[in-house]
Amino acid sequence: MTTNENNFQAIISHAKEYGFVFQSSEIYDGLSAVYDYGPYGSELKKNIKDYWWRSMTQFHENIVGIDAAIFMHPTTWKASGHVDNFSDPMIDNKDSNKRYRVDHLIEGYAEELTAQGKEKESEELITEMDRLLAAEDFTALKKLLEQHKISCAVSGTCNWTDIRQFNLMFSTQVGSVTEESDTIYLRPETAQGIFVNFLNVQKTARMKIPFGIAQIGKAFRNEIVARQFIFRMREFEQMEMQFFIRPGTQAQWFEYWKKTRLDWHLSLGIPADKYRYHNHVKLAHYADAALDIEYEFPFGFKEVEGIHSRTDFDLKSHQAYSGKKMQYFDNEINQNYIPYVIETSIGLDRMFLLIMSHAYEEETITKEDGSTDSRSVLHFPALLAPVKLAVLPLTKKDGLPEIARDLMNDCKTAFRCFYEEKDAIGKRYRRQDAIGTPFCVTIDHQTKEDQTVTIRYRDSMKQERVPLDKVKQLVQQAVA
């Protein structure tokens, strides 16, 4: 195992041990590619959602939010192209019966080449794969696998079936079995809930182009290759925004959202060199330009967010299938048109994994006497941390818990606090480091004399005395 793989395994273990992420239905041995968020995980996830929601709907006067249902009329997915096009090229190994996504197999091999110092060969392979995927030339794609002797990780053989397309949507039935029933789908993206509500929102919120509609919600995909923890799930959450614009202005708005979204990531204090853009060679059926914002996860640079120029494909297609006009009257130019759309689409669970990967550290601490110690710490940006302040009376007696409780009661209406009396103070600090609490405050005997407390900063582990009545303001400023 490489250091990075060890690091990734350590993050997964830490996420479970400290109540961030659990395998779904674990007592029944789990359900592949489905996860539950625990007490601290659900707080972190909510904080990421809030930060995104605020940056979209509060900081942009021309973006409003909606919360559409997961179930939609089945024709939605005919119109969107998902029934016909939402598939991945898959291949089975005849000896192990294991199924793979072809692009994942080739990318995995390319990564091995890079690790062996054969960067040029690796790049050429990916370029050729992209070209063949774009041309949907599956015969040549299979030849590429054979030519490079890319084998199955389980059987070790190259005994492959032909490549086939596999639709990723989950379907179910509505209505009772005896009455008329119909196949409906669990939405594979939240975007369509926005498109079908375009006119409802535009009219009721009196929006003028350019304007956006934002939404956070669950999406479902029958991913065949379930890998890398919460990176690729079958049930996940998306934070999507569709920005409706005048036809012909898409190139300029694509550039705007490309930069604005990367700036949002950087605003969390994550270094710019951990990110890169990746332009799509094979465009989705609805796009005239697309790119991914990639982050360097412990397993390499991977997509965390997509920016897509979706043209007027979706609204035009819904107009055709529903027979309802999807046009907007632009009174500035006195014209009716179907708007074009720029989409920003980020996976909430991937953003969660990004934040965990960035924050996690196994730190070695050198003490004053030269001896060393270690701690597991999550360096979350303060505004995303599940708990902002831990209130810790030094002892359980002498009136210290009463002072601590008063502070706790004053602060807990403003931000999430944690109260604890048990164990030595050092142990309590370590537990807070492990869940990423940026501030700990200790109430001791001196507090009774001069109304000051010790505040301890998670990242530097520095401690200083501050007035008791300044604690709330200090934390509030840091988490705003």
Q: Which is nearer to ligand GAP, 350 or 388 (CB)?
A: 350
Provide, rounded to whole angstroms, the least separation between the CB of residue 191 and ligand GAP. 4
Q: Which residue has the tokens 């209406």?
A: 413
Q: Binding ligand GAP by CB under 6 A: which of 82, 101, 350, 428?
A: 350
Q: How far is CA 347 from CA 56, 76, 161, 197, 321, in A?
A: 15, 22, 32, 22, 29
Q: Which is nearer to ligand GAP, 240 or 433 (CB)?
A: 240
CA-to-CA distance for 230 and 78, rounded, in angstroms? 29
Residue 71 CA neighbour count, 13 Å, CB half = 8
Task: Pick the stretch among 34-42, 63-71, 347-355, 388-396 that binds ligand GAP (CB under 6 A).
Answer: 347-355
Q: Which is nearer to ligand GAP, 32 or 463 (CB)?
A: 32
Pairing of strands 372-378, 360-366: antiparallel
464: phi then psi, degrees, rounded to nearest 5: -150, 160
Q: What character string, x for contact with ligand GAP (CB under 6 A) and - otherwise, covers 287-306?
A: ----------------xxxx
By CB under 6 A, the count of residues binding ligand GAP is 19
Q: How far is CA 255 from CA 123, 251, 259, 342, 458, in A?
A: 26, 6, 6, 10, 38
Q: Please calculate the CA angle 422-428-434 and round it to the nearest 5 degrees.
A: 135
Instruction: Note whether 349 binds ligand GAP by CB under 6 A.
Output: yes
Find all residues with CB under 8 Å of 249, minimum gap 6, and list them: 210, 340
Q: Which is nearer to ligand GAP, 231 or 415 (CB)?
A: 231
Residue 19 near residue 41 (C-beta atoms within 8 A): yes
CA-to-CA distance for 8 and 14, rounded, in angstroms? 10
Q: Binding ligand GAP by CB under 6 A: which of 189, 312, 433, 444?
A: 189
Q: Which is nearer to ligand GAP, 289 or 453 (CB)?
A: 289
Q: What character string, x for contact with ligand GAP (CB under 6 A) and - otherwise, covers 220-249?
A: -x-x--------xx--x-x-x---------
Residues in the chain: 480
Instruction: Note whether 217 binds ligand GAP by CB under 6 A.
Output: no
Is residue 391 classed as helix, strand or coil in its secondary structure? strand
Q: What character string, x for contact with ligand GAP (CB under 6 A) and - otherwise, covers 132-151?
A: --------------------
Q: Which is nearer to ligand GAP, 131 or 278 (CB)?
A: 278
For residue 227, give both structure tokens.
């890998």
Q: How far is CA 432 from CA 13, 334, 383, in A?
A: 17, 60, 16
Site for ligand GAP in 360-399 (CB under 6 A): none
Closest residue to ligand GAP, judged by C-beta, is: 347
Residue 137 near residue 190 (C-beta atoms within 8 A): no
Q: Which is nearer to ligand GAP, 92 or 189 (CB)?
A: 189
Q: What character string, x for contact with ligand GAP (CB under 6 A) and - otherwise, covers 458-477?
A: --------------------
Q: Which is nearer to ligand GAP, 100 or 415 (CB)?
A: 100
Provide, rounded to whole angstroms, the least separation between the CB of residue 371 and ligand GAP. 43
Find all residues with CB under 8 Å of 64, minimum gap 6, and list them: 57, 201, 205, 207, 211, 212, 213, 214
Q: Binding ligand GAP by CB under 6 A: which of 191, 216, 378, 440?
A: 191
Q: Which is nearer to ligand GAP, 44 or 390 (CB)?
A: 44
Q: Which is nearer to ligand GAP, 292 or 433 (CB)?
A: 292
The torsion of the CA quartet 384, 276, 1, 459, rounded to 10 degrees, works out to -30
Q: Which is nearer to ligand GAP, 312 or 349 (CB)?
A: 349
Buried b (16+ CB within 10 A) or exposed e, 187-220: bbbbbbbbbbebeebbeeeebebbbbbbbbbebb
DSSP 382: G
Residue 343 near residue 191 (C-beta atoms within 8 A): yes
Provide, rounded to whole angstroms, the least separation between the CB of residue 465 and ligand GAP. 44
Q: Binding ligand GAP by CB under 6 A: which of 346, 355, 377, 382?
A: 346
Q: Which is nearer to ligand GAP, 292 or 444 (CB)?
A: 292
Q: Please count the other Cβ atoms lying within 10 Å of the Cβ belonging to residue 47.
A: 21
Instruction: Note whether 76 binds ligand GAP by CB under 6 A.
Output: no
Provide, rounded to whole angstroms, the least separation between the CB of residue 74 and ligand GAP. 18
Instruction: Note whether 344 binds ligand GAP by CB under 6 A.
Output: no
Residue 373 near residue 427 (C-beta atoms within 8 A): no
Q: Please calculate the CA angle 233-236-239 and round it to the nearest 5 degrees.
A: 135
Enumerate binding residues for ligand GAP (CB under 6 A).
189, 191, 221, 223, 232-233, 236, 238, 240, 303-306, 343, 345-347, 349-350
